[in-house]
């Protein structure tokens, strides 16, 4: 029993000694200080002095400094003082590290008085748009005011750009000022977008059948300009001022544009591809094959071939130019040469004065619209086209 008590006393003494030893070791561990500077942002007025100082209030000595932009500012340590040298206007981050690898960062701003200049002095916008206007030079601390808040509004974003939001048509002046009371103005003109009821290509225009385009929105005082020959096309604004009238004057593969504009310079250009005579009038060798983007008004020296087989109830109509290298088109179908719908139609090309039947072009809704004095008017729909193709030919 006494032996057990002695052992317990020895164990307690050992633990007490161990605790003392380990506690003593913790007290001897080195202690490092966080880096603390007298400022987190140093501003140097370059017009007054190119130098500045950052004081180390707490740290572990032997400081090293790295500048994020050595073209703007550099720095060296002199004891607990960080001597900063400004080189040009701008900003840089100085990373300060001591021998214990503790670190902190101080932003250096080098100011130099400059005129407040915006990237642009005026801009055009449509209603409900946003646009960022950059400040080219200035002295920070920017503020904006707008004289007509019903037309536009503006703010300064985090990057220092002027964010403009357009509201309704009109002209507003945005005035920008900086912390040194320099100012600049931005003229914001909000205009309507020019809108037509149809601005797609005019693939087919018939002489004597004007096409009217309605102007749904815009800025008034509209004009219509023909960018091709006035011999073939006329373009005018109707008396009501809100419609453009496009009129073909002569048959032609025009392939030029008309441009509708308003007083604010908004414009829409529309291509006019073909101007054609009325299909059922003026018998002459001509064709419009929409899928091949091919239109030709052939001379009277052109030729056609008309064939019908009673035995097989098959017909074939051909239009082509003359000569060894004659080209054109052929349509073959089931049925006779009388006016009316035709079944199982096929379109072929004529090349080198021969029908190339190695390639069939699918067509549908084929019919002979008119047969008179040996002339035949045959029309059909090509795959993927909305305008009827046709040719007029005779033997």
| 376 and 305 fall within a common domain | yes
Residue 309's CB is within 10 A of a number of other CB atoms, namely 10
What was the pLDDT predicted at 79? 92
Could you tell me if 390 and 292 lie in one domain? yes
Residue located via tokens 């829409």: 268
Look at residue 78 and tell me if it is in a domain.
yes
Specify if 139 maps to a domain: yes
Instruction: Single out the residue in 72, 95, 111 at which a domain terminates.
Output: 111
Whole-model pTM over 0.75: no
In the chain (395 residues long), the average pLDDT of successive 10-residue segments reads: 46 45 49 91 88 94 94 94 92 94 93 90 97 92 96 94 97 95 96 97 92 97 96 97 96 93 97 91 86 65 89 95 90 96 96 94 96 96 89 92
- Please give the pLDDT value at position 297: 63
Per residue in 294-304, is it b (16+ CB within 10 Å) or e — as a string? bbbbbeeebbb
43 and 99 together in one domain: yes
Domain enclosing residue 270, as ranges: 195-276
Instruction: Give yes or no: residues 290 and 381 share one domain.
Output: yes
In a domain, 234, yes or no: yes
Establish if 49 belongs to a structural domain. yes
Amino acid 180: pLDDT = 86
Tokens standing for residue 73: 């500012």
The span from the CA of 271 to the CA of 258, in Å, is: 6
Report the pLDDT value the prediction gives residue 30, as an integer from 0 to 100.
64
Number of compact structural domains in the chain:
4
166 and 199 both lie in a single domain:
no
In a domain, 160, yes or no: yes
Residues 230 and 186 in one domain: no
Q: Looking at the domain assignment, is residue 40 inside a domain?
A: yes
CATH number for the domain spanning 65: value is 2.60.40.1080
Q: Are residues 222 and 311 in the same domain?
A: no
**12 domain residue, yes or no:** no
Closest by CA to 339, choosing from 317, 318, 322, is 317
- Are 295 and 219 in the same domain? no
Q: Which of 172, 190, 208 is the last residue of a domain?
A: 190
In a domain, 248, yes or no: yes
């Amino acid at each position: 029993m006494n032996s057990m008590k002695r052992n317990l006393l020895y164990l307690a003494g050992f633990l007490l000694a161990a605790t003392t030893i380990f506690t003593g070791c913790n007290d001897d561990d080195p202690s490092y200080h966080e880096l603390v500077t007298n400022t987190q942002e140093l501003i140097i007025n370059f017009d007054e002095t190119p130098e500045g100082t950052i004081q180390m209030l707490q740290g572990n000595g032997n400081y090293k400094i790295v500048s994020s932009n050595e073209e703007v500012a550099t720095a060296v340590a002199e004891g607990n003082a960080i001597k900063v040298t400004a080189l040009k206007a701008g900003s840089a981050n100085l990373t300060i590290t001591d021998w214990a690898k503790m670190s902190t960062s101080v932003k250096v701003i080098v100011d130099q008085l400059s005129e407040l200049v915006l990237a642009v002095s005026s801009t055009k916008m449509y209603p409900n748009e946003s646009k960022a206007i950059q400040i080219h030079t200035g002295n920070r601390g920017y503020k904006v005011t707008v004289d007509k808040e019903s037309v536009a509004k503006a703010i300064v974003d985090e990057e220092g750009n002027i964010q403009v939001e357009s509201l309704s048509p009109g002209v507003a002046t945005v005035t920008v000022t900086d912390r040194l009371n320099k100012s600049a103005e931005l003229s914001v003109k909000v205009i309507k977008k020019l809108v037509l009821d149809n601005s797609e290509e005019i693939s087919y225009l018939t002489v004597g059948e004007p096409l009217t385009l309605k102007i749904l929105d815009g800025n008034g005082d509209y004009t219509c300009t023909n960018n091709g020959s006035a011999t073939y096309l006329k373009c005018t604004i109707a008396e009501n001022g809100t419609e453009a009238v496009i009129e073909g004057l002569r048959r032609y593969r025009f392939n030029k544009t008309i441009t509708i504009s308003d007083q604010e310079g908004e414009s829409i250009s529309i291509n006019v591809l073909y101007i054609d005579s009325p299909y059922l009038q003026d018998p002459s060798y001509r064709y419009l094959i929409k899928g091949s983007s091919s239109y030709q008004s052939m001379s009277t020296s052109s030729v056609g071939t008309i064939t019908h087989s009673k035995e097989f109830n098959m017909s074939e109509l051909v239009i082509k130019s003359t000569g060894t290298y004659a080209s054109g088109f052929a349509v073959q179908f089931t049925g006779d040469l009388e006016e009316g719908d035709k079944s199982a139609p096929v379109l072929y090309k004529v090349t080198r004065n021969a029908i190339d039947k190695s390639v069939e072009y699918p067509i549908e809704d084929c019919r002979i619209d008119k047969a008179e004095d040996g002339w035949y008017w045959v029309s059909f729909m090509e795959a993927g086209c909305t305008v009827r193709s046709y040719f007029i030919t005779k033997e």
